[in-house]
Amino acid sequence: MKVLLVCMYHPELVRGGSQQIAYETFEGLKNIEGVEPFLLASADHNTPAMFKSGARITGFDGRENESLFLSQGYDYVWQKCPSIHLAQAYKEFLERLRPDVVHFHHYMTYGIDYLTLTRKVLPDAKIVFTAHEFLSICALSGHMRRTDGSLCDRASAVRCHQCIPSLPPEHYFMRELWMKTHLATVDVFTTPSRFMVSHYANWGLDPAKFVHVTNGMQANTKAIETLQGKRNRFGFFGQMVDVKGLHVLLQAVGLLRAQGFTDFTVEVNGDNIAFASPECRAEIEAFVVAEEALPADARNVVFNGSYHHDQLRARMARVDWVVVPSIWWEVFCLVISEAWSFGRPVIASNVGGPAERVTEGKDGLLFELGDARALADTMRRACTEEGLWKNLAQGITKPASREEMVQGFMQIYTGKVLAAT
Partner 1 sequence: MSNGSPRTPADPAPAALSAALPIEAGFNEELYLRLNPDVLVAVAGGSFRSGREHFERFGRAEGRPVALPAHVVPDRVMVTAEAGRIAEKPRAPGANVDHIKISPSGGIYVAGWVNDTQDQLVSVDLYFSGWSISFSAANLARVRRPDAEEAVGLLSPHHCGYWGFLYAARRLPANVCNAVVRLKSGVEMPSVVMVEGVEDDDLRSVALCGLSQAAYTGNHYFAAVQSIDAAIGTQLLAFNQMLTRRAANAPYVEYFGCANASYKASIIVCLFGKTEYMYVQQAMFARQAGIGDYEFIYVCNSPDTAEALLREARLSGLMYGLDVTIILLNANAGFAAANNLAAKHARSGRLVFVNPDVFPRDADWAAKHSAIVAGQPAEQTALFGAPLFYDDSSLMHGGMYFELDTAPSFTQGQHQETAILRVEHYGKGAPPDTVEYLRPRPVPAVTGAFISTAREWFETLGGFTEDYIFGHYEDADLSLKSLKAGRPAWLHDATLWHLEGKGSHRQPQHEGGSIVNRWLFTKLWKGLVEAEVLGPAPLHPAFGVSK
Q: Using CB under 8 A as the criterion, which residues of the chain lie in contact with partner 1 when the complex forms?
A: 78, 80, 82-84, 87-88, 91, 113, 116-117, 120, 157-158, 168-171, 173-174, 177-178, 181-182, 184
Alpha helices in 204-293 (DSSP H): 246-258, 278-293
- Rounded to the nearest whole angstrom, what is the least distance from the CB of residue 134 to partner 1 in the complex? 20
Between 83 and 411, CB nearer to partner 1: 83
Between 171 and 380, CB nearer to partner 1: 171
- Rounded to the nearest whole angstrom, what is the least distance from the CB of residue 281 to partner 1 in the complex? 31
Give the DSSP letter of residue 305.
E
CB 101 within 8 A of CB 84: no
Nearest to 38 by CA among 2, 10, 14, 63: 2
Between 40 and 266, CB nearer to partner 1: 40
Between 102 and 323, CB nearer to partner 1: 102
Between 180 and 309, CB nearer to partner 1: 180
Alpha helices in 301-396 (DSSP H): 312-317, 334-341, 352-357, 372-384, 388-395
Strand locations in 252-361 (E): 265-269, 301-305, 321-324, 346-349
Between 158 and 298, CB nearer to partner 1: 158
- Rounded to the nearest whole angstrom, what is the least distance from the CB of residue 316 to partner 1 in the complex? 46
Instruction: Label residues 284-293 b or e (16+ Cβ within 10 Å = b).
Output: beebeeebee
Q: How far apart are CA 271 and CA 311, in angstroms?
A: 14
Q: H or E segment at 200?
A: helix 195-203
Q: How far apart are CA 391 and CA 363, in angstroms?
A: 8
Q: Which amino acid is at 124?
A: D
Q: How far apart are CA 30 and CA 23, in angstroms?
A: 11
- Rounded to the nearest whole angstrom, what is the least distance from the CB of residue 250 to partner 1 in the complex? 41
Between 157 and 418, CB nearer to partner 1: 157
- Rounded to the nearest whole angstrom, what is the least distance from the CB of residue 173 to partner 1 in the complex? 3
- Rounded to the nearest whole angstrom, what is the least distance from the CB of residue 126 to partner 1 in the complex? 20
Q: How far apart are CA 274 and CA 281, in angstroms?
A: 8
Q: What are phi and psi of 301, to 5 degrees?
A: -115, 135
- Rounded to the nearest whole angstrom, what is the least distance from the CB of residue 176 to partner 1 in the complex? 9
